């Protein structure tokens, strides 16, 4: 859909299934189950809604899904379904991997950086040969030395080959990536998550990434159990959600299985959302 002179498209990498309790933290199951139904293994099916931003000069990809470098056991553990893939979706827009010139990784968890790289003739190489990959320096350093709590969230093959190929651009804090597209560092989910703000001709879109993974996570206290700094997540949501409402931002929810893009409003003190007409 259009945003000023830009074009925004959801380019999905399919869905995965994660533990419902982990997705909703301290929220009791009877409450979250009304939003997302659980399967027999207590998992909820969530989206991998990568975002393509087309400006007059650039094709920018925000996050790259879970990718294809998985064995059968992991595919089953994470419920990797690949109803579609990121590369198929790009092809649907007549874009090959070489047409992407910027990749923004909101962070390097395996469900956001999976198609960063591809296995080719026994080697793992960057999927997007002409892209610079924009990553927070703190996130890259942490991904190289994760702790016991979040070790399972990183796969070295998603980022090490990009760094070795000289395609990784490490930045610190907020920065403009191309005119109209900026990254904003927001702690909470982890120390160095970056959200993405897109501005064109007076219109604004905002990628919340794992700060607000689905529309079900809009209430301040609905925070994922995965978050390393949940109180900071609450603070950031209390700051950003009212701004999204009052300024009419087009909001992007990476993991929402139904509503990847929405506009927010307020009714009786509650945040409500509606899908944009064109989406
Ligand atoms: Zn995620």
Per-residue pLDDT of the chain (279 residues; tens, 9 = 90+): 999 999 999 999 999 999 999 999 999 999 999 999 999 999 999 999 999 999 999 999 999 999 999 999 999 999 999 999 999 999 999 999 999 999 999 999 999 999 999 999 999 999 999 999 999 999 999 999 999 999 999 999 999 999 999 999 999 999 999 999 999 999 999 999 999 999 999 999 999 999 999 999 999 999 999 999 999 999 999 999 999 999 999 999 999 999 999 999 999 989 999 998 765
The rounded Å distance from CA 267 to ligand 1 centre is: 28
The rounded Å distance from CA 213 to ligand 1 centre is: 7
Which residues have beta carbons under 5 A from ligand 1 (an ion)? 111, 210
Give the integer Cα–Cα distance in Å for 251 and 244.
8
Give the integer Cα–Cα distance in Å for 152 and 148.
8
Give the integer Cα–Cα distance in Å for 61 and 66.
14
Token pair in block for residue 148: 């016991």
The rounded Å distance from CA 122 to ligand 1 centre is: 27
The rounded Å distance from CA 243 to ligand 1 centre is: 23
The rounded Å distance from CA 268 to ligand 1 centre is: 30
Q: What is the pTM of this model?
A: 0.97
Burial class (CB in 10 A: 0-12, 13-18, 19+), 23: buried
Q: What is the pLDDT of residue 90?
A: 98
The rounded Å distance from CA 246 to ligand 1 centre is: 26
């Amino acid at each position: 859909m259009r945003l000023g002179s830009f074009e925004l498209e959801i380019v999905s990498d399919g869905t995965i299934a994660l533990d419902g309790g982990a997705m909703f933290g301290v929220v009791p199951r009877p409450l979250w189950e009304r939003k997302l139904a659980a399967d027999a293994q207590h998992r909820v099916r969530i989206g991998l809604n990568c975002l393509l931003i087309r400006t007059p000069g650039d094709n920018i990809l925000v996050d790259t899904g879970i990718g294809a470098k998985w064995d059968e056991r992991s595919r089953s553990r994470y419920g990797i379904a690949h109803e579609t893939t990121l590369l198929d979706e790009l092809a649907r827009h007549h874009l090959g991997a070489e047409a992407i010139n910027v990749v923004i990784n909101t962070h390097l968890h395996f469900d956001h950086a999976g198609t960063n790289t591809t296995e080719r003739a026994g080697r793992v190489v960057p999927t997007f040969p002409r892209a610079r990959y924009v990553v927070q320096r703190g996130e890259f350093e942490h991904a190289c030395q994760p702790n016991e709590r979040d070790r399972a969230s990183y796969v070295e093959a998603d980022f090490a080959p990009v760094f070795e190929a000289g395609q990784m651009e490490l930045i610190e804090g907020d920065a403009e990536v191309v005119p109209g597209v900026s990254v904003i560092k927001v702690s909470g989910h982890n120390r160095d998550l970056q959200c993405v703000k897109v501005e064109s001709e007076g219109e604004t879109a905002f990628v919340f990434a794992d700060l607000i993974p689905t529309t079900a996570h809009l209430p301040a206290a609905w925070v994922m159990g995965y978050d390393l700094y949940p109180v900071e997540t609450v603070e950031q949501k209390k700051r950003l959600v009212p701004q999204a409402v009052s300024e009419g931002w087009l909001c992007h929810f990476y993991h929402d299985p139904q509503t990847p893009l929405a506009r927010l409003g307020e009714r009786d003190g509650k945040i409500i959302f509606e899908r944009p007409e064109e989406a």
